[in-house]
């Protein structure tokens, strides 16, 4: 398995590897990890906890010194794989000397460069592990056609929503970042990447049929024109997500233990998400105005980028708490808990005191909320998060989506209204009820006779035959 940079890619791929070797113990897995220069402390801790049948190979670090400082994250991710190709090819050749290859799996950014290696070495076509959802995969297959059909410079200019088979309508403004604006540096490369998906032998998707029935049905009806699609999710972290920050872990859980059931709103924007100074201030005031209990993972603000910490997941800010409004901590003492930079999210979401989640709608966080039955306030920031917010609010109806005001901010009044409604209000009851049903559906999908377990078994059978 070949990884792309980012903790949001590492976690689902390693969970996929774990599920494969646990359910089908004949397999052994080697994970190749490109080195983009990001801190590796937390990824190494995750990898050290994997079963013995999963090994890892860290590829030599690559340099980005020739790139402009404001280059798109997607460009850096793809280049980290491309610039690791010589080392990757050498490592695969060495492995082939002692191992029967059943399959080569790449994550969503690796299909084009790794396909070239497969041709050169004369080995089987790669599979894709797709760590996000079926609606995004539908967009991937339709994007080359949309690129030719629409002449506008930005999909945000489209009046009519895009129609993807089996999916709710998608407005152009909610198209993922690298595909929304044709003038962006990443656009052409990302559309080309979409074209390459047809080169895959098959695609494993980190979602489940019961969550996205329409999208998966449409994808599977298209078999023959596109690679076979296998829903294998929800693949989320289980057990401790400590990350080595024991003090924060203990602090959060001890505080949650003292709160009433379902009374706390958890606020976190993932490993990469950042807010501006003004937005951070509005969020603080909205939480205070709501009068509800909250656990907020605070990062230092960034006024230029909404994904400023994507490549530095385990760097801890000196003290982001200094950026909070004057007197905020004193006024909310006993009601809220603020923790800098990191919290044990799996443990927080599974805790009985947690009754809601303000989230950036990263797909890992989305699935973790579904698995633990926690209703959402959807606050997308970058990548495909706006699309995920559409799924959560318009299709599944387990989230309220925030709206920016004329100043480009989510205002404190709206934040307070949503937080209060999620925890206390009758208007939050439908969200809570629907999320409970999805929690049960997720559990069933991963059961011995569940849809995702059977889907993984099909993949394993194909690989078992190829490895003979």
pLDDT tens for residues 193-211?
Answer: 999 999 999 999 999 999 9
Structural contact between residues 81 and 112, judged by C-beta atoms closer than 8 angstroms: no
State the DSSP string of 266-283: EEE-TTT----HHHHHHH
Could you list the beta-strand ranges (E) of 67-122.
105-107
Residues 441-467: tens digit of each pLDDT: 999 999 999 999 999 999 999 999 986
Residues 14-31: tens digit of each pLDDT: 999 999 999 999 999 999
Known active-site residue 70: no
Q: How far is CA 431 from CA 97, 352, 357, 398, in A?
A: 54, 17, 12, 5
CA distance 457 to 449: 11
Tally of residues, the chain: 468
CA distance 222 to 213: 14
Mean pLDDT of the chain: 93
- Dmax over CA atoms of the chain, in Å, equals 67
Structural contact between residues 170 and 387, judged by C-beta atoms closer than 8 angstroms: yes
Catalytic residue (one of 72, 107, 147, 177): 107
Helices 187-195 & 111-121 angle (0-180, nearest 10) = 50
CA distance 199 to 221: 18
Mean per-residue pLDDT, 70-76: 82
pLDDT beyond 80 at 243: no
pLDDT for residue 298: 96
Higher pLDDT, 240 or 74: 74
pLDDT for residue 73: 80
Residue at token pair 């996000």: 132
Q: How far is CA 66 from CA 62, 71, 133, 392, in A?
A: 11, 11, 33, 39
Phi, psi of 133 (to 5 degrees): -110, 175
Higher pLDDT, 57 or 37: 57
pLDDT for residue 149: 94
pLDDT for residue 240: 58
Buried/exposed code over 413-433 (b: 16+ C-beta within 10 A; e: otherwise): ebbbbbbbbbbeeeebeebbe
Report residue 199 as tokens.
Answer: 């080169």
pLDDT for residue 316: 45
pLDDT beyond 70 at 67: yes
pLDDT for residue 270: 92
Per-residue pLDDT band for 417 (boundaries 50, 70, 90) equals: very high
Kindly give, in sequence order, each residue whose CB lies less than 8 Å from that of residue 5, ignoring residues fewer than 6 positions away: 34, 36, 38, 76, 77, 80, 311
Residues 161-196: tens digit of each pLDDT: 999 999 999 999 999 999 999 998 889 999 999 999
Known active-site residue 322: no
pLDDT beyond 50 at 379: yes
pLDDT beyond 80 at 241: no
Mean per-residue pLDDT, 390-401: 98
Residues 426-436: tens digit of each pLDDT: 999 999 999 99
Kindly give, in sequence order, each residue whose CB lies less than 8 Å from that of residue 328, ignoring residues fewer than 6 positions away: 284, 285, 288
Structural contact between residues 199 and 111, judged by C-beta atoms closer than 8 angstroms: yes
pLDDT beyond 60 at 318: no
Structural contact between residues 219 and 166, judged by C-beta atoms closer than 8 angstroms: yes
pLDDT for residue 244: 45
Mapping DSSP onto H, E and C, the string for 319-354 reads: CHHHHCCCCHHHHCECCEEEEECCCCHHHHHHCCCE
pLDDT for residue 39: 74
Percent of the chain with pLDDT over 70: 96
Mean per-residue pLDDT, 260-272: 95
Report residue 311 as tokens.
Answer: 């490549």
CA distance 24 to 461: 9
Residues 335-369: tens digit of each pLDDT: 999 999 889 999 999 999 999 999 999 999 999 99
For each of the domains in the chain, give its residue range(s) and CATH number, in order of start: 7-233+446-466 (3.40.50.2000), 247-442 (3.40.50.2000)
Report how far Cα 107 is from the mean position of its chain's Cα atoms.
Answer: 12
Percent of the chain with pLDDT over 90: 81
Kindly give, in sequence order, each residue whose CB lies less than 8 Å from that of residue 67, ignoring residues fewer than 6 positions away: 75, 76, 79
Per-residue pLDDT band for 405 (boundaries 50, 70, 90) equals: very high
Report how far Cα 300 is from the mean position of its chain's Cα atoms.
Answer: 21
Residues 291-306: tens digit of each pLDDT: 999 999 999 999 988 8
Per-residue pLDDT band for 250 (boundaries 50, 70, 90) equals: confident
């Amino acid at each position: 398995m070949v990884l792309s940079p980012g903790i949001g890619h590492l976690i689902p791929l390693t969970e996929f590897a774990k599920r494969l070797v646990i359910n089908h113990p004949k397999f052994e897995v080697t994970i190749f990890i490109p080195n983009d220069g990001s801190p590796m402390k937390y990824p190494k801790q995750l990898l050290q906890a994997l079963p013995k049948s999963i090994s890892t190979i860290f590829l030599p670090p690559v340099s980005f010194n020739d790139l402009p400082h404001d280059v798109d994250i997607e460009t850096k991710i793809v280049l980290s794989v491309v610039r690791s190709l010589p080392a990757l090819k050498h490592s695969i050749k060495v492995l082939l000397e002692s191992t029967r290859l059943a399959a080569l799996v790449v994550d969503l950014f690796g299909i084009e460069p790794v396909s070239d290696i497969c041709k050169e070495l004369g080995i089987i076509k790669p599979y894709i592990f797709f760590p996000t959802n079926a609606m995004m995969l539908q967009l991937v297959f339709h994007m080359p056609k949309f690129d030719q059909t629409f002449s506008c410079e930005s999909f945000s200019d489209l009046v009519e929503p895009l129609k993807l088979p089996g999916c709710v309508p998608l407005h152009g403004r909610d198209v993922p970042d690298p595909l929304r604006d044709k003038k962006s540096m990443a656009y052409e490369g990302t559309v080309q990447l979409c074209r390459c998906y047809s080169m895959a032998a098959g695609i494993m998707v980190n979602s489940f049929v019961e969550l996205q029935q329409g999208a998966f049905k449409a994808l599977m009806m298209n078999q023959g024109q596109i690679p076979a699609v296998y829903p294998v999710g929800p693949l989320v972290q289980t057990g401790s997500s400590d990350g080595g920050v024991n003090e924060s872990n203990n602090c959060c859980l001890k505080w949650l233990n003292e709160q009433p059931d379902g009374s706390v709103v958890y606020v976190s924007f993932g490993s990469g998400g950042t807010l501006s100074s003004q937005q951070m201030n509005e969020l603080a005031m909205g939480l205070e105005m709501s009068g509800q209990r909250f656990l907020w993972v605070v990062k230092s603000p960034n006024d230029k980028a909404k994904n400023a910490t994507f490549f530095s997941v385990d760097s801890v800010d000196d003290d982001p708490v200094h950026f909070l409004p004057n007197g905020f901590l004193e006024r909310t003492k006993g009601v809220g808990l603020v923790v800098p930079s990191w919290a044990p999210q799996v443990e927080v979401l599974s805790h009985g005191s947690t009754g809601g989640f303000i989230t950036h709608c990263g797909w890992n966080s989305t699935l973790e909320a579904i698995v633990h039955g926690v209703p959402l306030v959807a606050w997308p920031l970058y990548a495909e998060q706006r699309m995920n917010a559409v799924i959560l609010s318009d299709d599944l109806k387990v989230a309220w989506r925030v709206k920016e005001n004329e100043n480009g901010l989510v205002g404190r009044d709206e934040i307070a209204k949503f937080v209060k409604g999620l925890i206390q209000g009758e208007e939050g009851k439908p969200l809570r009820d629907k999320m409970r049903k999805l929690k049960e559906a997720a559990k069933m999908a991963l059961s011995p006779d569940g849809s995702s377990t059977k889907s993984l078994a099909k993949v394993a059978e194909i690989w078992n035959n190829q490895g003979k």
